[in-house]
Amino acid sequence: MLFLNDARFRAAFYQFVAISAVLLAGWAMYSTASANLAKQDIATGFGFLSRQAGFEISEAAIAFQSTDSVGRAILVGIANTVKVSFLAVVFGTIIGLFVGIGRLSTNPLLSRLMLAYVEVLRNVPLLLYLLLWYSLIILVFPPVKQAIQFLPGFFLSNSGLAVPAIQWQSGFYALLGAVAIGLAAASIAHAIARRRRITSGTGGSGWAMAALLLLLPIIAVWASGQVAVTWEVPELGRFRLTGGLHIRPEFVALLFGLALSLSASVAEIVRGGIQAVNRGQWEAAMALGLSRSLALRLVVLPQALRVIVPPLTNNYLSVFKNSSLAIAIGYPDLVMVSNTVMNQTGQAIETIAIFMGVYLGLSVLISVFMNWYNARVALKER
């Protein structure tokens, strides 16, 4: 068996054996589970996704009624999870950036306040903060009948925030297409201006032209009369608020918890990334006449990104997975909707497989995007 002495053959052979063992174990588990379910007369398969859901979802990022299918109900759970996770990543990153910079401030009061902020948020379980924010919203604000109207059409109560909303009659997809075309044109214009500035040393940044190209398609579609919208203002009745957009306390509590928890971790990552940049970069930038803020924005932070981006990926993945704690405060995310589906259909294995696959797929997408961005900001060696 001289071929076993070939390192390349051994590597391929061992991988084949490992993959075969995993597939065999998976097939054995599937066969055993199917046989046991059949003995108990429990239906299997994914045909239940086409059944009528028969239940309401308190908050839906896409349109949903109880007469819709179970598959659409799960899709609503996915959309709710993605919505709150994306917003938490955006707000948490922005807050964390400023807190991390504040940690390095020469002002001792500011730096210690930022340190206290980070330590308080990092050393208390996220679940407790979710319960805290939710309890504060419910206890502090008045009931719906006594809702606070702090602006015309804006009502605040323990059932959430009601604000005026746009109702699209027609032209939504046309306007969305115009935005996409404008963004593409603006990106191309900015890239061309940047390349010209780098090669010739002359010319502006191209932001003015990019902004013009972004707005032109939107203005053209709007002026064509294809877009028709109405403005729906909330109205306070005897027992409830009707009309407008309702931001529920469960969503606010979950968004606060995820965003603030992420911001503490991002702050430490930003602080570490800035400190990893050689002190000589600060001195060289300031010797050229740049202020401390300009030196940070134009010289230090671009170099710190190479250190900051890799650990950010793990934190973004954690935000997405930690959103499953929403079930503790009643926010209808993927896990909560899936639990309702399991209780109604009795098909737990298939439902769990679906939301495990969703978490896996979205986590892979986040990792791929962050790895692409990391490769883009990485130092290019000659």
pLDDT band, residue 381 (cuts 50/70/90):
low
H/E stretch holding 319: helix 301-322
In whole angstroms, what is the distance from residue 114 CA to residue 125 CA? 19
Query: Residue type for 269, please?
Result: I
Q: For the chain, how many helices (H) and strands (E)?
A: 12, 8
Assigned token pair, 102: 């504040």
CATH number of the structural domain 50-148+247-377: 1.10.3720.10
pLDDT band at 268 (very low <50, low <70, confident <90, very high): very high
Q: What is the average pLDDT across 165-175?
A: 76
Sign of the Cα torsion 285, 287, 290, 293 reads: positive
Interval 215-241: pLDDT, tens: 888 888 777 777 777 777 787 777 777
Q: CA of 163: how far to CAs of 172, 248, 309, in Å?
A: 20, 11, 36
Question: Looking at per-residue confidence, does 147 or 267 come out higher?
Answer: 267
20-42 burial, b at 16+ Cβ within 10 Å, e below that, comes to eeeeeeeeeeeeeeeeebeeeee
Judged against a pLDDT cut of 90, whether residue 266 lies above it is answered with yes
pLDDT digits (tens, 9 = 90+) for 312-340: 988 999 998 888 888 888 888 888 888 88
Number of Cβ atoms within 10 Å of the Cβ of 230: 9
Query: What percent of the chain stands above pLDDT 70?
Result: 94
> In sequence order, which residues have a C-beta less than 8 Å from that of residue 152 and are 6 or more positions away?
233
CA dihedral 193, 197, 203, 209 (to 10 degrees): 10
Give residue-wise pLDDT tens across range 175-215: 788 888 888 888 888 788 877 777 776 656 667 777 777 78
* pLDDT for res 264: 92
Q: Distance between CA 216 and CA 209 in Å, rounded?
A: 11
- pLDDT reported for residue 231: 78
CA distance 252 to 289: 44
Between 243 and 120, whose confidence is greater? 120
Query: Which distant-in-sequence residues (6+ apart) come within 8 Å of 62 by Cβ?
Result: 75, 76, 79
Q: How far apart are CA 50 and CA 73, in angstroms?
A: 10
Q: Is the pLDDT of residue 136 over 90?
A: no
pLDDT at 93: 93
